[in-house]
Chain A
Amino acid sequence: MTHPSDTGPAPVLALKDISKSFGAVRALRNVSLELFPGEVHALAGENGAGKSTLIKTLAGVHRPDAGQVLLDGEPVVFHGPKDARDAGIAVIYQEPTLFPDLSIAENIFMGRRPRRALGRIDHRATREATAGLMRRLGVDLDPDRPARGLSIADQQIVEIAKALSFDARVLIMDEPTAALTGSEVARLFGVVRTLRDQGAAVLFISHRLEEIFEICRRVTTLRDGAWIASELLDGMTEDDLVRRMVGRDLDELYPKQDVTPGEVALRVRRLTREGVFTDVSFEVRRGEIVGLAGLVGAGRTEVARAVFGIDRWDAGEVEVDGRKLTNGAPSTAMAAGLALVPEDRRAQGLVMDMSIERNIGLTGLRTTVKAGLMNRGAERSRSLDWAVKLQVKYARIADAVSTLSGGNQQKVVLAKWLATGPKVLIVDEPTRGIDVGTKAEVHRLLSHLAADGVAVLMISSDLPEVLGMADRVLVMHEGRLTAEIPRSDATEETVMAAATGRAA
C-alpha cells in the first residue's frame, strides 16, 4: 500500500495492510493508517465503511485477519482491550459502554482506581479525580450518581471523561460528538486541542464534516472497507472529502421543498408531565416540517415520548387528525397515524438480535396479516421494499440488525416507521450517526414526505439541520416551550438565545 508519508516525527501507532472479515462481510481490506503525536487525524467514510471496525482493531477488541499493528514502529499483538490500554491507547467507542449500576466515578476509574494500602480502593480520591475531570469538561455531573438514567449526551460526556482520565498517548474517538450540542462540542474540542499540544495522537471520527475541518490536520478515507486516501486537510473542501467518501458528487444537503401547510395534523395542548416538562402547546400542519430545538436535557425527547404514549402525561391533551389520543398508549397513537423514530436506536429503535426483515415488520404486525395469521410474503416484500428504498447496506435481509453499522441501523429504524405510512412523523435525532450521503437522503425523504402531506416534527441537536429543514422552529428551555420562530427569522443566534433562556 502506498500513501503519503510525512517527514515529521515517527508515528506512535500505525496499521499496516489490515484486513478483517465477519463471516462473509469483509469489513476491512488492506487498510493502512499512521497516527502522529501532536496531531488530530480524521477517519472519514460512509456508514458501514469500516471505521468502527478499524478502531476496534486498534483497541484490541478485534484481532485482524491479516496485517500488522505497529506501536512506535514495533509490531504488537493486542490480545484484548487491556493490552491496548496498557500501551497507552484510550478509546471512546461509538456506543456508550457504561455500567448502569455503578456510579459515574466508578465508571470512569473502573479497573484502575486509586489505591490505598493493601490494594484497597481509595473512594475519596476516585471521587475527587472525577470531579476534577468534570470541571475540565465544564459539566456538572455528580460523581456519585449511578450511570443509569443518564441521557445519551451525559453518557457520552462520561465516556469522554473516562478517555481523558487515562492521560493516554493515543486518544481514539468514534463519533464522540454525535449526541452533543454546539457548546459541549466546543468545550470538547478545547480539551482535545490541549491534549494535542501536549503531544498526544488523536484519531477522530465524525459525520459532521465541519467538525473534521475544524479540528483535524489529516484525514484518512475509507470506502466499503477499502483504504481510499490519507492526506492533509489543508486545501481540501468539504466536497472533495465527500467525493472521496462516496465516490461521486452529492446533491444539495438540505433540499427543503416549499409547501403550503394544510390543516392541523398534530395538536398538543397544555401538555405537562410533572417535573419533566410543563405546559407545552404546539401544532404541526400537514406538509409542514417543524423543528424542535433546545439544549441537551431541555426535555424535547420527553415531550415526544409522552405524545407518542410511551410515558403518561399528567395534564393536557394530544390530537392527531382531530382524534384525541389515549394517555400512555402507543398502539392507539400508531392507529391514529403517529410514528416516532426514537433517539436511542439500540434500545428503543431496534430489537438488536432480530433480523432486518422482522425489525421493519414489527410496525406492520397489524397490516401484514391474513385471516389473523402472519402473511410472511407480505411482510418480506414490505421490509425489502423499504430497506431498498432507504439504501440500507446489508448482506441478507434475514441477518440480525446487530451486524449492521451504526448508520445502517438508523436507516432500518427509519424504514420501520416510514413503512407504516404515518400522517404525523416525529423524528428524534434522525440523522445522528448517519453519513453525509445518507443524511441528504434522509433530508430529501423527510422533505418528500412533507410534500406528500405528512406532518413532520423534527427534534435535532444539529442546528444547521434544523435551520435548513424546518418551516418553523420551536425552542425548548428547561421543560418549557420558550419560542416559536418562523423559517425566515430562524438563525443560529435567535434559536440559541431562546434555547439558553436569554430571549424574553
Chain B
Amino acid sequence: MTVTAPNPASATEAPKTGGSRLVDRVFKMRELAILIVFLVMIAVTQAGNSEFLSQQGIKDLLLNATILVLVATGQSLVVITRNVDLSVGSTLGITAFAAGTYLHGGGNPAVAIVLAVLLGVAFGLLNGLLVSLGQVPALVVTLGTLYIIRGIDSIWVGSRQITAADLPGSFVDFGSGGVWAVPYLALIALVVLVGTAYCLKNFSSGRELYALGSNPEAARLAGIPVRKRILAAYTFCGALAGLAGALYLARFGNVDSGTGNGYELTVVSAVVVGGVVFTGGSGSVYGAALGALLLTSINSVLPALGVSSVWVLAINGILLLLAIAVDRIVALRVASALKKRNARHA
C-alpha cells in the first residue's frame, strides 16, 4: 500500500481510483444481493400465480412489510452502535394497547399515534440509560426489559383486548387505505426510512454512531459523546417501536396482551439478513428494510404459491440461512479480489 516516493497526482485523484469504485460497489452490492433475491422471488411467484402482483397483492406486500421495516430501521441504528434492543416486541405490544385504550375512550387518532411514539420513547430512554450509564451488556439488559415490559403489559392489559369495533372508523380505514396500491402506512415507513438513511449519511451524529460501533474505545478518545449517542439510538429505536405499535393497531385493529410477543427474533433476523453486522459499525438502514421486506414477503409468497403451511417455517429458515451465506460468500470473493488488486498495485 504505502510507497515511499510521493505521488501527489494519484493522491488527488484518489476518489476516482478503481479501488474506491470497487469498494463502493461492494457496499452497494450487499444490499443489491438481497434486492436480487427479493426480485427473483417475486418474479417466480408472479409466474406461478398471476394474482400475486395485482393491485391488492402489491398493497398487501407493502402493508405486511411496513411494521417490520419501521422496527428494523430503529433496531439497525442500535445494532450499528454495537448494541441490541430485544425489548422492541414488548414495546410494540404495550404502545399499541396504550394507543388503543386512548382511542377506545374517544381520542383523536393523531394524538394516539403521538402517544404511542412518546411511550416508545420512554422505554427507549430506559433501555438507553441502563445500557449507556450502567455500561452493561445490551443483550442482557434488553432481555431483562423485554420481560419487564411484557410483564407490565400483561398485568395492565389482563384479558382485555382492543378490537376494530373499539376504534374510530377513520383510524381503521387509514390502516388499510392508500394511494392506488401504496398504503398510507407504507408511505409513513418510507418517509421514516429515507429520512433516517439521509441523516445517518449526512450528519456528524449519524456517522458517529458508526464510529462508536466500530471501535468504542477510539470513539471515546476522539471525543464523541458515546453515552449521548447510544442513548439517542435507543430512544429512536423505542420511538419507532412505538410508531410501529400505533400502525399495528391501525392495520390489524386488534391488540391484546400477547401482541408483539416473540417479535424481537423476527426483527433481529431482518436486520441480520439486511447485512447490518452484529459487531457494530457497518450496515445500512436500507439493507435492514430490504431484509424486512424479504422476510415478510416469504410469508406471502409461500401461501400464494400454494405451498402447504407445513413447509413454511422450514423454508423460511433455510432462506434466511441462504441469504446470509450468499451475502457472506459475495463479500469474501470481493475482499479477495480487492486484496489481489492491492497487491498488484503495491
Query: Which A residues are within 8 Å of any B CB, using their own CB?
Result: 59, 61, 80-82, 85, 91, 93, 97-102, 106, 110-113, 115, 119-121, 127-128, 131, 134-135, 138-146, 149-151, 153-154, 157, 183-184, 274-276, 295-297, 478-479, 500
Beyond contacts A111-B211, A111-B222, A112-B204: 18 other A-B pairs, Cβ-Cβ < 8 A, are A81-B221, A93-B221, A97-B215, A98-B218, A99-B214, A99-B281, A100-B281, A110-B224, A119-B204, A131-B14, A131-B15, A135-B12, A144-B15, A146-B23, A275-B343, A275-B344, A478-B346, A500-B4
Question: With the chains together, A203 CA to B224 CA distance in Å?
Answer: 24
* Cβ–Cβ contact A143 & B10, under 8 A: no
Least distance between A163 CB and chain B CB atoms (Å): 12
- Inside 8 A of B280's CB, which chain A residues have their CB? 101
Least distance between B6 CB and chain A CB atoms (Å): 4
- Inside 8 A of A157's CB, which chain B residues have their CB? 2
Question: With the chains together, A39 CA to B124 CA distance in Å?
Answer: 50
**A-B pairs with beta carbons under 8 Å apart, 15 shown:** A80-B223, A81-B222, A97-B218, A100-B281, A110-B224, A115-B204, A134-B14, A140-B10, A141-B1, A142-B20, A150-B1, A154-B1, A183-B4, A275-B339, A275-B340
4 closest Cβ pairs, A-B complex? A82-B223, A97-B218, A101-B281, A275-B343
Given contacts A80-B223, A100-B281, contact A144 B19 (CB under 8 A): yes
- Inside 8 A of B225's CB, which chain A residues have their CB? 82
> From B339, which residue of chain A is reached at the shortest CB distance?
A275
Question: With the chains together, A113 CA to B280 CA distance in Å?
Answer: 22
Least distance between A54 CB and chain B CB atoms (Å): 16
* Cβ–Cβ contact B220 & A81, under 8 A: yes
Q: Is B195 an interface residue (CB 8 A)?
A: no
- Inside 8 A of B6's CB, which chain A residues have their CB? 135, 138-140
Partner of B224, one of A111, A140, A275, A276: A111
For B1-31 the 0/1 string (1 means CB < 8 A from A) is 1111111101110110101100110000000
Least distance between A77 CB and chain B CB atoms (Å): 15
- Inside 8 A of B339's CB, which chain A residues have their CB? 149, 275-276
Least distance between B71 CB and chain A CB atoms (Å): 24
Q: How large is the interface on B (under 10, 10 to 19, 20 to 34, 35 or more residues)?
A: 35 or more
* Cβ–Cβ contact B217 & A97, under 8 A: yes
Question: With the chains together, A275 CA to B340 CA distance in Å?
Answer: 5
Least distance between B80 CB and chain A CB atoms (Å): 9
- Inside 8 A of B20's CB, which chain A residues have their CB? 142, 144-145
Q: Is B52 an interface residue (CB 8 A)?
A: no
For B266-286 the 0/1 string (1 means CB < 8 A from A) is 000000000000001110000
- Inside 8 A of B308's CB, which chain A residues have their CB? none
- Inside 8 A of B215's CB, which chain A residues have their CB? 97-100
Question: With the chains together, A120 CA to B215 CA distance in Å?
Answer: 23
Given contacts A110-B208, A135-B6, contact A100 B214 (CB under 8 A): yes
Q: Is B219 an interface residue (CB 8 A)?
A: yes
Least distance between B201 CB and chain A CB atoms (Å): 8
Least distance between A501 CB and chain B CB atoms (Å): 11
Contacting residues of chain B (203-242) with chain A, CB-CB under 8 angstroms: 203-204, 207-208, 210-211, 213-215, 217-225
- Inside 8 A of B213's CB, which chain A residues have their CB? 101
* Cβ–Cβ contact A153 & B2, under 8 A: yes
Partner of A99, one of B4, B12, B17, B219: B219
Q: Is B202 an interface residue (CB 8 A)?
A: yes
Question: With the chains together, A154 CA to B211 CA distance in Å?
Answer: 19
- Inside 8 A of B211's CB, which chain A residues have their CB? 99, 102, 106, 110-111
* Cβ–Cβ contact B15 & A120, under 8 A: no
- Inside 8 A of A142's CB, which chain B residues have their CB? 14, 17, 19-20
Interface-centre pick from B3, B201, B225 (highest chain A CB count, 10 A)? B3
> From A479, which residue of chain B is reached at the shortest CB distance?
B343
Question: With the chains together, A153 CA to B11 CA distance in Å?
Answer: 18
> From B224, which residue of chain A is reached at the shortest CB distance?
A111
Interface-centre pick from A100, A110, A128 (highest chain B CB count, 10 A)? A110
Interface-centre pick from A93, A139, A276 (highest chain B CB count, 10 A)? A139
- Inside 8 A of A478's CB, which chain B residues have their CB? 346
* Cβ–Cβ contact B23 & A144, under 8 A: yes
Partner of A81, one of B7, B24, B208, B223: B223
- Inside 8 A of B3's CB, which chain A residues have their CB? 139-140
> From A97, which residue of chain B is reached at the shortest CB distance?
B218
Interface-centre pick from A85, A97, A153, A274 (highest chain B CB count, 10 A)? A97
> From A277, which residue of chain B is reached at the shortest CB distance?
B343
Given contacts A97-B218, A145-B20, contact A154 B2 (CB under 8 A): yes
* Cβ–Cβ contact A121 & B202, under 8 A: yes
Question: With the chains together, A500 CA to B4 CA distance in Å?
Answer: 9
Given contacts A81-B221, A97-B222, contact A102 B214 (CB under 8 A): yes
Question: With the chains together, A150 CA to B200 CA distance in Å?
Answer: 25
Question: With the chains together, A80 CA to B224 CA distance in Å?
Answer: 10
Given contacts A93-B221, A131-B12, contact A151 B4 (CB under 8 A): no
Least distance between A308 CB and chain B CB atoms (Å): 20
* Cβ–Cβ contact A97 & B221, under 8 A: yes
- Inside 8 A of B10's CB, which chain A residues have their CB? 140
- Inside 8 A of B343's CB, which chain A residues have their CB? 275-276, 479
Given contacts A121-B207, A134-B11, A135-B6, contact A85 B23 (CB under 8 A): no
Least distance between A366 CB and chain B CB atoms (Å): 31
Question: With the chains together, A297 CA to B225 CA distance in Å?
Answer: 35
Least distance between A328 CB and chain B CB atoms (Å): 16
Interface-centre pick from B223, B282, B346 (highest chain A CB count, 10 A)? B223
Question: With the chains together, A150 CA to B338 CA distance in Å?
Answer: 13
> From B213, which residue of chain A is reached at the shortest CB distance?
A101
> From B26, which residue of chain A is reached at the shortest CB distance?
A146
> From A136, which residue of chain B is reached at the shortest CB distance?
B6
- Inside 8 A of A98's CB, which chain B residues have their CB? 215, 218
Interface-centre pick from B2, B207, B211, B342 (highest chain A CB count, 10 A)? B2
Question: With the chains together, A110 CA to B325 CA distance in Å?
Answer: 32
Question: With the chains together, A305 CA to B140 CA distance in Å?
Answer: 38
- Inside 8 A of B217's CB, which chain A residues have their CB? 97
Interface-centre pick from B24, B280, B339 (highest chain A CB count, 10 A)? B339
- Inside 8 A of A101's CB, which chain B residues have their CB? 210, 213-214, 280-282
Contacting residues of chain B (98-149) with chain A, CB-CB under 8 angstroms: none
> From B223, which residue of chain A is reached at the shortest CB distance?
A82
Question: With the chains together, A98 CA to B202 CA distance in Å?
Answer: 20
* Cβ–Cβ contact B220 & A111, under 8 A: no
